[in-house]
Structure 1
Amino acid sequence: MSNVFVIGLEPFNLALLEAMPQADEMDFRELLDTHEAIEVEPGFSFDEMLRLAESRLRESDPPDAILNYWDFPGSCLTPVLCKRHGLTAPRLEAVAAMEHKYWARQEMEASVPDVTPKVCAVDPFASDPAAAIDLDFPFWLKPVVSHSSYLGFRVEGPEDLQVAITAMRQHIGHFGHAFDEFLKLVERPPEVADIGGCYCIAEEIISADAQVTLEGYVWNGDLTVYGHVDSLREGQSQSSFSRYEYPSRLPQPVLERMEKAIARLLNHIGYDNAPFNAEFFWDEQSDRISLLEVNTRISKSHCPLFQDVDGSSHQKVALDLALGRAPDFPRREGKWPKAAKFMVRMFQDGEIKRVPSAPELHHVQSRYPEALIQVLVKEGQRLSHLTFQDSYSFEIADIFVGGRSDAELMSKHADIMELLPFEIGLTAQVPDETH
């Protein structure tokens, strides 16, 4: 029996882990709970989180693997713990280079300049942050470390920039200070040595009609991409994800160009023996591909999609790598040729008056046993008080479902939505910059 310690383990993902092949050979143990590692409070400390995890590992059986499928801090905490316990993990500098958005763009420019967007480092606490921005409006302003598009703003002009800078000054330290603690453990190149966790990047807008995520891994220097997942967006700024679809509809030659680009980048930084996912855009009219970012983990949002189509959650890839062995992942052995994750969003503030009851959810599951539903809100919650939302919407539920075609997926989604009775008392207020 292998002792597998999981950061942020919760029932939804535990069920996916336990459904994997050979799961009966694993003892999945919670290392840090979701409140300790995911739903972190403002001012949390990376160093304190590391000490807490270390103390629990010392008090337990020796770990055979440490597993993570979350963004920062879990994405950076895991390789540190693995290194200290002699487990398989990528170089800390390679992880930091992808987690740090400005550092990542420098490495992209050095290795894959043809797919790299223009970017500037911005200190939001400078007397005149705009002086560092050498881009025309519109552009994106983002923290160098974040997740779920938290504190990401589309800046159309000077007024938008002032709103974004004000929000950055108020909230960027939530992740930024802890990221600075992690950065002390790595050696940074001179061009990013002074760009800390409380910096932003201003980045040219590269979004196009098609966005796709490549899910893959590097094992002993060899890169494998085992899945391509389309991302579809909605909302005023087209910045909020509406659904993910697997497999991708993009032409194979376009996907192969993306694979070659990510292979050059990860080889350049020496990223090895770990999973990744890389987000690309493709402009069909110009045939241009652009690399948005690389995450040093699998996407947990894609786990049920791989289970539906390939026969296993791709947590198996991360687990194999964490155990120090080459991944052995099934292909097209699932029950469905297509699968999707639908994100149920609101674009207006309000209070949750009612969520689907347990019997109502059971009724949906009885009608669609291939569906998984996550309700992300509770009665009495105010949408603007939800944590780590993007700047333009609120995510209240997720629906995962398999189907035989795109049309069938959309039909199932529409029917399931009719069966999920959310009641929200809306206000005229739009999402603000604080959630």
Structure 2
Amino acid sequence: MTNVFVVGLDAGNLALLRGSFPRSRFHSLFGKSEVMPASADFPALLDEGHRRLDEFGGPIDAIVGYWDFPTTSLVPALCADYGVPGPGLEPVLKCEHKYWSRLEQCKAADAHPKFGLVDLAGDPGLPRGLSFPVWLKPVKSYSSVLAFRVAEPAELGRAMAEIRQGIDAVGKSFDAVLSGLELPPEIAVAGGRACLVEEEIRGVQATAEGYCYRGEPHVYGVVDSVHYPGSPSFLRYQYPSRLPARIQRRITDVSTRVIRQIGLDSTAFNIEFFWNQDVDELNVLEINPRISQSHAQLFRLVDGVANHHCMVRLALGEEPEMPCRRGAHAVAAKWFLRSFTDGVVRSCPTEEHLARIRREMPEATVDVVAREGTRLAELTVQDSYSYELATCCLGARDEAELVDKFHRCAELLPFTFEDHQAAPSPLI
């Protein structure tokens, strides 16, 4: 039995881990609630991680995590300190720091928008050579928090003001991590509380899931990200991708070149892309030095094994062996039931509602996010344009059945609100 320590362990992911690795013991180094606030004090977490690991009486075989910052930085720091396989901290930060990541991408592939930094303390204005519409975002953020689409100069100042008010929440802790490295001059000047601006990239969105073992990157799946019509908010993640095979090969090629350039190794990764079909242009949106745990059930339903397999095998110093299309379903999706207006949740689905969904759709995994008495605007880890009420992971024979199943789930997940303009409806 191997001892695997998980930064941010929660019940749903623990079940997937135990199902894939029955001969490993999974220990909670930190609970999800301890690391999900990206504003968490990184130095304090690192010290506490050392204390907990030092108190453990047995061998420490692996340290893993599947959440965003600070988990992504805690894992390589702790792996190095305890001599277990893991990625280097500097390559991880090259992915995490959006400006640094763009500079590295430029060296590997022509698959990125025009970009630059804006001075949050200065007058609103775009860097030379950029034009509207643009996206404005901190160099380190999570789940699209403080990311704004800006279509004209008047909107730029408002977005900058909002980012200026909230950027310290993550930026202060991110700066603490950066301070431990010898940084390139342009990154040292920018720091962890800078603001990236880049021209809008359009098209359909997809994510490459892969890993790097002994310096060789591998992409094992491409997942589509489908938005609500007319909105940047996600409606579903769907696997396998519906993109043409030639585009998926280009995604694999760009992913491989960028990961090699960054030097990321001994870890899983996921890279988000936009493909503009009209001009046949492929652009990287961002690089994450971890698995996407949001995709885990999709790989389990379609391929037979969750992507946690890659994370743990790499952490044990072994090469992953992901199966292909050995699951019970031909297609799977993680759906997001959202509201686009604020309000207070008066009632939400009960365990009886969830049990009925499981009876009708045994493969379904449902997570209710918005609880009774919660004001939607106070929910954490939300994008800038909607409020997540619940998620549903479903498998099916084909896309038509997948859509029908989601409509049925939405019917069986009743939410009522006070001070709410209209109940949400799933848009396909």
Report if the CA contact (8 A) 2:124-2:153 is conserved: no
- Measured in 2, the distance between the counterparts of 1:127 and 1:101 equals 20
Does 2:168 correspond to 1:173?
yes
1:58-108 Cα offsets, whole Å, 9 max, x none, are 111332111111011101111110011111112221111110000001011
Does 2:104 correspond to 1:107?
yes
- Measured in 1, the distance between the counterparts of 2:342 and 2:126 equals 34
Report if the CA contact (8 A) 2:87-2:265 is conserved: yes
| Aligned match for 1:139, one of 122, 134, 140 | 134
Partner of 1:228: 222
SS at match of 1:401: strand
- Measured in 2, the distance between the counterparts of 1:133 and 1:366 equals 58
Q: CA deviation at 1:118?
A: 0.7
Q: After the TM superposition, which residues 61-80 of structure 1 pair with which residues of structure 2 at under 5 Å, given as runs?
A: 61-80=58-77
- Measured in 2, the distance between the counterparts of 1:371 and 1:33 equals 25
Report if the CA contact (8 A) 1:133-1:202 is conserved: no
Partner of 1:7: 7
Does 2:358 correspond to 1:361?
no
TM-score normalised by the chain length of structure 2: 0.96
Report if the CA contact (8 A) 1:350-1:384 is conserved: yes
1:226-258 Cα offsets, whole Å, 9 max, x none, are 11100011264x311110110001111111111
SS at match of 2:224: strand
- Sort the Cα spacing of 1:224 and 1:18 in 2 relative to 1 into closer, same or farther, 3 A: same
- Measured in 2, the distance between the counterparts of 1:63 and 1:130 equals 51
- Sort the Cα spacing of 1:131 and 1:216 in 2 relative to 1 into closer, same or farther, 3 A: closer
Aligned partner letter, 1:5: F
Partner of 1:94: 91
TM-score normalised by the chain length of structure 1: 0.94
- Sort the Cα spacing of 1:301 and 1:131 in 2 relative to 1 into closer, same or farther, 3 A: closer
1:38-71 Cα offsets, whole Å, 9 max, x none, are 135x5x3110111111111111133211111101
Does 2:151 correspond to 1:119?
no
1:336-379 Cα offsets, whole Å, 9 max, x none, are 01000101111100011111111121111111101110001210
Aligned partner letter, 1:118: K
Q: After the TM superposition, which residues 303-382 of structure 1 pair with which residues of structure 2 at under 5 Å, given as runs?
A: 303-382=296-375
Report if the CA contact (8 A) 2:208-2:255 is conserved: no
Report if the CA contact (8 A) 1:122-1:133 is conserved: no
Aligned partner letter, 2:144: S
Report if the CA contact (8 A) 1:5-1:66 is conserved: yes
Q: CA deviation at 1:402?
A: 0.3
Does 2:237 correspond to 1:244?
yes
- Measured in 2, the distance between the counterparts of 1:426 and 1:300 equals 34
Aligned partner letter, 2:29: L
CA RMSD of aligned residues (A): 1.4
Report if the CA contact (8 A) 1:321-1:327 is conserved: yes
Identity %: 43
- Measured in 1, the distance between the counterparts of 2:406 and 2:420 equals 26
Q: CA deviation at 1:284?
A: 1.3
Query: Where does structure 2 lack aligned partners over 5 or more consecutive residues?
Result: 423-428
Does 2:144 correspond to 1:149?
yes
- Measured in 2, the distance between the counterparts of 1:428 and 1:364 equals 27
SS at match of 1:193: helix
Q: CA deviation at 1:388?
A: 2.0
Q: CA deviation at 1:34?
A: 1.6
Does 2:259 correspond to 1:266?
yes
SS at match of 2:208: strand
- Measured in 1, the distance between the counterparts of 2:402 and 2:179 equals 47
1:297-347 Cα offsets, whole Å, 9 max, x none, are 000100000000011111010000011111122211110010001011111
- Sort the Cα spacing of 1:133 and 1:376 in 2 relative to 1 into closer, same or farther, 3 A: farther
SS at match of 1:332: coil
Partner of 1:18: 18
1:138-184 Cα offsets, whole Å, 9 max, x none, are 10001101111000000112232122111111111111000001111
